[in-house]
Chain A
Amino acid sequence: MWNPGKSVTTSSVCTKIVILLVIGSAFAAPYLVKSYVSFAAKNPEIIGPLLATFYACSVPGLVALFCLDRLLANIKKKDVFIEKNVKYLRVISWCSFAVSAILFLSGFYYLLFLLIAVAAAFFGLILRVVKNVIEQAVAIKNDNDLTI
């Protein structure tokens, strides 16, 4: 039978798989980028910048994924409205903005990155609002816990 506990476990497993995929693709990046450039018939000169963008985005991406994993671990322990989760959401939000900034700069040599930069910034903004909501919820929960 499907239940919220299983849903959190599924999210946690998916997060761990994505972490492994990002680490794996970091090792395979030179090969992947070369294959993409030859397949899409792009100028081979962009291999270097593409790799730089990939590795630069991998760092905030991995940080965000690790925070997501910690966040899910807390949710699994039923610790939802706690300060730590607000901190994790803040970090994930800033990581999205960092990726957005990197992709925005990369947009100068590869225009398609500008679109992803806008998407990442929008995602960061949504997460920021979610963080604000959780922050308020933590304050309300603290008040409620101290109402006897």
Chain B
Amino acid sequence: MAILVNLDVMMAKRKISAGELSEKIGITPANLSILKNNKAKAIRFSTLEEICRVLDCQPGDILEYKKD
């Protein structure tokens, strides 16, 4: 996959658990797991906005483009 989600890196930096994050951004733990494990096919701007707000970061801190 060309776009990688580095959510766990940011979560570790902010010392926040998956359960807490999912609750704060308003998605299910199952969906957060899909996102964390790079299984997601797309991410809504609203979800990205919430993640950035809760983790106090930029989209570029979470998403990374990697050539195949």
Contacts and interface: CB of A to CB of B under 8 A. Distances in A.
Interface of A: 142-143, 146-148
A145 to B, nearest CB: 9
Contacts of B32: 148
Nearest to B47: A148
Contacts of A147: 40-44
Contacts of B47: 148
A136 to B, nearest CB: 16
B62 to A, nearest CB: 12
Nearest to B32: A148
Interface residues on B, range: 10 to 19
A81 to B, nearest CB: 16
A39 to B, nearest CB: 62
23 contacts: A142-B41, A143-B41, A143-B42, A146-B34, A146-B39, A146-B40, A146-B41, A146-B42, A147-B40, A147-B41, A147-B42, A147-B43, A147-B44, A148-B27, A148-B31, A148-B32, A148-B34, A148-B35, A148-B40, A148-B42, A148-B43, A148-B44, A148-B47
Interface of B: 27, 31-32, 34-35, 39-44, 47
A135 B31 CA distance: 24
Nearest to B51: A148
Contacts of A142: 41
A146 B30 CA distance: 11
Contacts of A143: 41-42
A82 to B, nearest CB: 17
Contacts of B42: 143, 146-148
Nearest to A143: B41
A42 to B, nearest CB: 61
Among B27, B35, B41, B47, chain A packs the most CB atoms within 10 A around the CB of B41
A7 to B, nearest CB: 31
A143 B43 CA distance: 11
A110 B37 CA distance: 63
